[in-house]
Structure 1
Amino acid sequence: METRLDIHTNPVAVKAVKHLAAAGKVIKESSLSATTRELVLLRTSQINGCGFCVDMHTKEAAEAGESAVRINLVAAWREATVYTPAERAALELAEQSTRIADAAGGVTDEAWADAAKHYDEDQLAALVALISLINALNRMNVITQQPAGDYTPGQFG
């Protein structure tokens, strides 16, 4: 597969990605844990089939100290016993938000209420922004066929 457009060098794409990265920095400054962030980023990227982001967030999660077991099981988180109830709520919110067209009305009230049991309003805002942001980045990468496998942790700050 050949990259259609290098979004890391094209001036228009670079400018757009810089703005998205700025939003990502705001989310990182929230009290939402790094573990939850990486699990949500990885799971959303898996759903969207974004190899570039799966590569990135697998490596970033490992670099942040996440165990190989938890990284490897995130695609099957419902059956896995290694996630907390709060992480499960975040993963459910991420899945429903990413597959928003699959269900009439988008995210269910039950999924939102479960997340709200575990996260305060600022953390919920961070989760919503994070899920929206990674969906946008996944789509940019998938549309332009960005290659996977060469990401180095910390490569993009």
Structure 2
Amino acid sequence: MEARLNLFGNPVIGKALRHITAAGKVVADSTLPATTQELVKIRASQINGCGFCVDMHTKDAAHGGEDATRLHLVAVWREATVFTDAERAALELAEQGTRIADAAGGVTDEAWANAAKHYDEDQLAALVSVIALINTYNRVNVMVQQPAGDYTPGQFG
């Protein structure tokens, strides 16, 4: 399978993606745990059907030392016993923020309050940002049918 558009060679989308990547660097450098960031990216990507991002972020998480069992259970995190309460709150926020059109009002007050119990204001800002950014990447990759499976950790920097 070949992508409909060369994301890495087209100057217009390349420039736009560089800006999005720069925003992602701000989030990556925040105090929001890197593990939480990867779990959220994986869950949003699963919901959005973005194979490229699921491939990338599961491999990046594994490369960073994440446990394979946890990676296999992200899609069913509610039933899994391997996630902390803070991670569960982040995953719930990611799901609601990704499925924003499915519920009137978007993210519930309950989900927000639960996340706020576990994360300070800067971490919440990073969490909102990482959810927004991964959803952007998911939409780009799904629209252009970016193929999945060939990503190697460190491939993009």
After TM superposition, the score normalised by the length of structure 1 is 0.99
In structure 2, stretches of 5+ residues that fail to align are none
Aligned length: 157
| Equivalent position of 1:90 in the other structure | 90
Residue 154 (structure 1) shift: 1.2
In structure 1, stretches of 5+ residues that fail to align are none
C-alpha separation between the residues in 2 aligned to 1:16 and 1:47? 24
**Other structure's SS at 1:101 match:** helix
Deviations 1:103-135 (A, max 9, x none): 000000000000000000000000000000000
Residue 2 (structure 1) shift: 3.4
C-alpha separation between the residues in 2 aligned to 1:2 and 1:52? 12
| Equivalent position of 1:148 in the other structure | 148
Deviations 1:63-116 (A, max 9, x none): 110000000000000000000000000000000000000000000000000000
**Other structure's SS at 1:104 match:** coil
Cα RMSD of the aligned pairs, angstroms, is 0.6
After TM superposition, the score normalised by the length of structure 2 is 0.99
Q: Does 1:71 align with 2:71?
A: yes
C-alpha separation between the residues in 1 aligned to 2:30 and 2:2? 37
* Seq. identity, %: 75
**Other structure's SS at 1:126 match:** helix
Residue 152 (structure 1) shift: 0.7
| Equivalent position of 1:48 in the other structure | 48
C-alpha separation between the residues in 1 aligned to 2:95 and 2:23? 21
Residue 6 (structure 1) shift: 1.1
